[in-house]
Amino acid sequence: MYGQTNCFIHPDIEYCAFYAGQKGNEVFVATKRAARNMSYQEMTAENGKIRFVDGAEKILGKQLLGLALKSPLTKYDRIYSLPMLTIKDDKGTGIVTSVPSDSPDDYAALMDLKRKKPLREKFNIKDEMVLPYEPVMVTGKYAGQKTAEVKKEIREELITSGEAALFVEPEKKVISRSGDECVVALCDQWYLNYGDEEWKKEAKKALAQLNTYTEDVRRNLDATIDWLHEYACCRSYGLGSRLPWDPQYLIESLSDSTIYNAYYTVAHLLQGGTIDGSVIGPAGIKASDMVDDCWDYIFLNKPYNAKTMPVQESQLAICRKEFLYWYPVDMRASGKDLLQNHLAYYLFNHVAIWKDQPELWPRSIRANGHLLLNNEKMSKQTGNFLTLSETVELFSADGMRISLADAGDYVEDANFVYDMADAAVLRLYNLLVWSREMVALREQNSLRSGQKFTFADQVFDNEMNSAIQKTFDSYEQTLFKEALKHGFFEYQSYRDKYREHCGGDTEMHVDMVFKWIETQAIILSPICPHVSEQIWQILGKDGFIVCAKWPVTPPADDLITKKAEFMDDAIRDFRLRLKNHMNLKQKKSKDTNPPSEAVIYFAEEYPSWQKEVLGLLNQCYQEGNGELPDNKEISRRLGAIESLKKFMKKTMPFVQLMRENLAIHGESALDIACQFDQKEVLEQNLDYILSTLDLESVTITDVRGVVPANVVEMTCPGKPIIMYKEQEPGITITFRNVDPCSGLFDIEIPIINGDTVAVIIRRLKRISKDIKPKQTISLWRYLDPLGGDRKLIQLKNPLENNERIPDSSQFKVDIQSGKVCLQNNGNKFYLGNTIVYRSCN
């Protein structure tokens, strides 16, 4: 207002003139929206009602242009109303006081009118209404001061003198559920003074002992406690409790629901199946007898007084005992949007009511985000909306629950995805089917049993123990996405990997299989109770799974974990090398046959120069409290070691490799030697290596032997290297199946000098796709190697002219003569051109 040169009006906006003031003896001109706002702020004679000046209910802005006006804070006797096309009718009064010395927009609009005569003529603005006015504030009470500095003083001065009124409106357009535009109303109101410094200190103490699960929630609550001040705590309509000291008002919901958790502790004693007090509950107390003093006895330990407490002390004592048993609140779960109001009030009110009893203050607050649907906000208007009942019909209860659990943790908005829900239903169905299949196999004694446990059994058992503990920790922290990750997705991947290592369902150990099924059902039951309960019944367990105890398992064995990681990494590297080997082979020739043999090289220790580098890295790691310095510093320190100077080109690449391994495997990556026998682990997994790489034979060799120099350079402890070999020349002979109706036919198989029976059987299975992996193969030689395969086969005894080849036998091949012989226990037999094989399930 100070320094005003004119006022601006939009020529096309509708204005109105209405009676203002408590006596209705003033006339205001503004938009109808502003007039409606003012009527609720005691600016009209009747609250919420507008009395328009006759004939002035609708006035176009252009009718008001060029009017001579009087302004309280200007050196000019009169100013004029001028046009401004940027004024909005949904903000403020629609009339803008022009102070060009303070507002660039006002200055630009006034200068446009000064410079552009056609613009003035368009709106009938005369020159004397514009040209004499200069937008410079140099005189008056506040001469020489910046407008921004004196705005507050001028505002108070105008309100005090009655030349201005305080007008308030919503910060932005607010539409009610009934479709009305909301206004700011001036009403009688009670406030809670959350700005009280002593109260804030107590709230901060409560926050300090509170588990918020994430630092984001703690910071949000801390900031809210800092800025929170007076808060309106009542309203005049709706549902709620009456304000005790002013019953005409109701306590508004965010303030009313801050300690209702305390009522939960005794509700079962007071309510007899109803919530209106019409039925007396188990405690035998009438609702009308529960006066304030009775509540103070229960919650605040107020001494019993028969005169003011209509209830017997023994009855109240039961309620008091129940309250102390259940309180405080272990966890309050709520939406993140309530952190800045309701949840902050929750802390404030607890410390106020139980001021000297911090043991009754809340223990934790778990805030969660909002729910998105397929990466978009749920909205009925856009159709991206789903109710709980619709979700259950589409995906089942457990399918929905598993998708909700996987939707997100912490305070980020969770995302419910249809594809995830569909996949969850399929996973759960497969889990039920597989559980039934395993029960059937157990009843048939088809699963492996006994006290002998393989490497795969030990790893699987260890992985289950680790996952069960991680799942428990995740549940304890209310991280359901993490719990689902460890207790379902990873848990199933461990089973699948175990089944692959064993070579099929029947090769799995019965104890491991049913430990997995039982524990899977239990650790999944908080998220998928229905499917878990069904699995519990399939297993023939007594009672309900919701009553079952959490699995008690030993802690995970770190050594077994390292062995498993060693094998996983090794197999991954072996497969990559096989892929590279085949790509290189295809580039050089048209031969696309995969290799049948390989040599695995392992190292027990690092070369001497690498040991020195590792020694320095370990020293740096300890000095840096678990962190390595940058490579520049490491290079400087390595350069000072005389024995490493001739290896300097190799040291830094090795350092970088160790740095990457450290990030993946932790401190153990810097060990000088491997913590377990690598050869033993590889030999224990030899069958799996052969099957997964589709090889016939593998040799495991220490690099300390006679090996190529490049292999020595590439191999280090914990990182074996595989080198693939092409099949040596051999002699091809016919393998014939003589079993009637077997569906197996003659196969041409090459035999290489030195082959064992196990190698030949593996090669036979590899070449013949008709032989099932689980089938057992035996080899038989003809007693007459020259004419035996020409004789008619007797159906009753097809192996009449054959003798079984012992598993300890070895094949000898003479390429020059083209003969294949069998050697066993010093005896040598010529095999001819045909060998018989049998296949049994």
Question: Which uninterrupted H or E stretch holds 158?
Answer: helix 147-161
pLDDT at 137: 47
Q: How many Å apart are CA 383 and CA 378, to the nearest integer?
A: 8
The SS3 call for residue 350 is helix
Cα–Cα distance measured from residue 723 to residue 600, given in angstroms and rounded to the nearest whole number: 6
Q: Could you read off the pLDDT of 468-497 as tens digits, one per residue?
A: 999 999 999 989 999 999 999 999 999 999
Cα gap 336→367, rounded to integer Å: 5
Give the residues across from 750 on adjacent strands: 732
Q: Are 512 and 504 in contact (CB under 8 A)?
A: no
pLDDT of residue 131: 64
Enter the tokens of residue 123. Answer: 């709106």
The sign of the CA dihedral 454, 457, 463, 468 is: negative
pLDDT of residue 523: 97
Alpha-carbon distance of 146 to 101, in angstroms, equals 10
Q: Token digits for 586?
A: 């295809």
Residue matched to tokens 């296949």? 839
Enumerate the β-bridge partners of residue 803: 781
52 bridge partner residues: 18
Angle at 40 between CA 38 and CA 46, to 5 degrees: 95
Element (H, E) at 697: strand 697-702
Structure tokens at 208: 């300090």
Q: Name the residue among 569, 497, 501 with its Cα closest to residue 718.
A: 569
SS3 state at 731: strand
All structural domains of the chain: 6-161 (3.90.740.10), 191-368 (3.40.50.620), 424-543 (1.10.730.10), 561-725 (no CATH), 731-840 (3.10.20.90)
Q: What DSSP designation does 666 have?
A: G
* 753 Rama sector, left if φ>0, alpha if ψ -120 to 50, beta otherwise: beta
- Beta-bridge mates of residue 699: 599
Q: What is the C-alpha separation between 467 and 523, in angstroms, rounded?
A: 10
Q: Is 316 within 8 Å of 294 (Cβ atoms)?
A: yes
Taking alpha carbons only, the member of 48, 377, 322 closest to residue 187 is 48
Residues of the chain with pLDDT under 50: 135-138
HEC assignment per residue over 763-819: HHHHHCCCCCCCCEEEEEEECCCCCHHHCCCCCCCCCCCEEECCCCCEEEEECCCCE
Amino acid, res. 813: V
In order of 225, 752, 764, 834, the CA distances from 735 in angstroms are 84, 15, 9, 6
* 744: nearest Cα among 774, 724, 764, 715: 764
Q: Give the predicted TM-score (pTM) of the model.
A: 0.73
In tens, the pLDDT along 148-191 reads: 667 777 778 787 877 788 888 888 888 888 888 888 888 888 99
C-alpha 284/C-alpha 231 separation (Å) is 39
b/e for 348-368, b at 16 or more Cβ within 10 A?
bbbbeebeeeeebbbebbbbb
Which pair of tokens denotes residue 738? 């003589």
Residue tagged 């900031």 (tokens): 223
Cβ pair 401, 367 in contact under 8 A: no
- Contact by Cβ (8 Å): 721, 572: no
| Residue 137 DSSP one-character state | -
Those residues with Cβ within 8 angstroms of residue 326's Cβ, 6 or more apart along the chain or in another chain:
264, 265
- Cα 174 to its chain centre, rounded Å, is 34
Among all chains, which residue has been given the structure tokens 């020059």? 816
Q: In whole angstroms, give the CA distance from residue 544 to residue 116.
A: 87
Find out whether 289 and 310 touch, Cβ atoms under 8 Å. Answer: yes
- What is the gyration radius of the CA atoms in the chain, in angstroms? 43
What is residue 135's predicted lDDT score, i.e. its pLDDT?
47
